[in-house]
Amino acid sequence: MQRTILHMDLDSFFVSVERLIDSKLIGKPILVGGTGDRGVVSTASYEARKYGAHSGMPMRMAKRLCPEAITIRGNAGTYTKYSKLVTDIMKGEVPILEKSSIDEFYADLSGMDKYVGAYKFSSELRQKIMRETGLPISFGLAANKIVSKVATGEAKPNNQIKIDRGFEKPFLAPLSIRKIPMVGEKMFQTFCNLGIKKVNKVQEMPVEMMESVFGKNGRVVWKRANGIDSSPIIEYHERKSISNERTFRRDTTDVYRLKTIMRAMAEDLAFQLRNGNRLTSCVTVKIRYSDFNTYSKQMKIPYTSADHTLIERVLEIFNKLYNRRLLVRLIGVRFSSLVQGKYQIDLFEDTKKTVNLYNAMDIIRNKYGSRSVIRASTYGAKTIGGFTNPFNGEPPIVLAHRHQ
């Protein structure tokens, strides 16, 4: 059967979510990401991209290029929530779904042209996603994953395009060679040194010449430039772990600060577990020192999604792992071995009040952001993994109770 592959990509996803939360940001240049000296741009709005800012760029450089840009740390929990909304819609509509990132999806629509028509179906799916989530999304439809992905890039922002079978090479020919997935800055520079900037020049080259210059990657790029790709759709499965990391602007030995941030990370991840009806049975803590040596330690625990249990385990592991004589560059927390399930009362420790407290906290967090209500012991940790939630400029509700 001839394949029909749909590629969908949420347009400047983090920025779009922030604009849903605050409509005053619409039309303004936005940079989402870490705002410190080592901060990196996660997403740049199209208004900021006009000045040369782009994802992966150091935030300081992006601010120099676009001084008017509004910088936002963002909130990982909020972005995950909106990504899940889109994922759930697509899972209910397409036969085979691959989720390649938080904002990027592939679907195999092969054979659908016999019935409703793949392009008509894709258009209706795109409209449904925009209607039910409020997020702009673009798609490309083609005979394989590579061409559909490039087509989506050409369709953006907030549009759609179909590449008919047999027209893959003419579609790709006039594009910059940088548009081909796998061609990074270093490979592009080599192409420029050879006087090659457009895809059509690669299409005209013998594949043996590409191999002699780039090795085995040369053959892969040559195939992609010619619209040849047989990579399969890897069916989406629920993730088996969630994690959070924090790289410090300056390496530190401040134990109080380290533990405060570890508590905040564990609290935020526990909220994500409960929000996704997940439980974890494995807790891992990671520490990277100033000499870049990295150490991690994990602990198996009974399945849970309770803040007080997970925070206690995280700190227990941290105390065993931490070397007080060395400066710390990065710390991280990971919950793995995830399964479907809801938080259960521990007959020996918990009360109905504890469960009701978690339910109330999660309702507030879902409405106002994951850091809108926090424990007193994590109040000092304003940023989690490079993201923060300003709670619309208001201070968070701080809870102090027996589980700290």
140 and 283 part of one domain: no
pLDDT per residue as tens digits for the range 5-25? 999 999 999 999 999 999 999
Assess whether pLDDT exceeds 70 at residue 347: no
- 198 with 267, same domain: the answer is no
Angle 207-214/216-225 helices, nearest 10 degrees?
140
pLDDT, one tens digit per residue, over 213-228 is 999 999 999 999 999 9
- Of 6, 25, 181, the closest CA to residue 108 belongs to 6
**293 in the same domain as 202:** no
Determine the pLDDT at residue 391.
Answer: 32
Report the C-alpha gap between 247 and 252 in whole angstroms: 10
Does residue 229 carry a pLDDT above 90?
A: yes
User: Is 351 domain-assigned?
Assistant: yes
Residues 108 and 202 in one domain: no
Q: Which residue has the tokens 């399930």?
A: 341
Given this model, what pLDDT does residue 116 score?
77
> Is the pTM of the predicted complex or chain greater than 0.75?
no
What's residue 231's pLDDT? 92
Summarised one tens digit per residue, pLDDT across range 164-204 is 999 999 999 999 999 999 998 899 999 999 999 999 999 99
* Pair 18, 76 in one domain: yes
Q: State mean pLDDT over 350-375.
A: 57
Q: Residue 272 — left, alpha, or beta (φ > 0 → left; ψ -120 to 50 → alpha)?
A: alpha
Domain that holds residue 90: 1-163
Catalytic residue list contains 18 = no
State yes or no: pLDDT of 384 exceeds 50. Answer: no
pLDDT, position 221: 95
**Among residues 93, 104, 154, 316, which one is catalytic?**
104
User: Do 284 and 324 reside in the same domain of the chain?
Assistant: yes
**Per-residue confidence (pLDDT) for residue 369, from 0 to 100:** 58
pLDDT for the residue 241 = 87
The encoded tokens of residue 104 equal 């990027």
Is 231 part of a structural domain of the chain?
no
Residue 329 binned pLDDT confidence (cut-offs 50, 70, 90) = very high
Instruction: Give tens-digit pLDDT for 287-311.
Output: 999 988 999 999 998 888 888 899 9
Mean confidence (pLDDT) of the chain = 85
DSSP state of 392: G
> Are residues 216 and 311 both part of a single domain?
no
The pLDDT tens digits of the residues spanning 131-167 come to 999 999 999 999 999 999 999 999 999 999 999 999 9
- Do 26 and 126 lie in one domain? The reply is yes
Residue at which a domain ends, from 133, 148, 163: 163
My answer on whether 65 and 182 are in the same domain is: no
Number of other residues whose CB lies within 10 A of the CB of residue 254: 11
Q: What mean pLDDT comes out for the span 230-258?
A: 88
* One-letter identity of residue 385: G
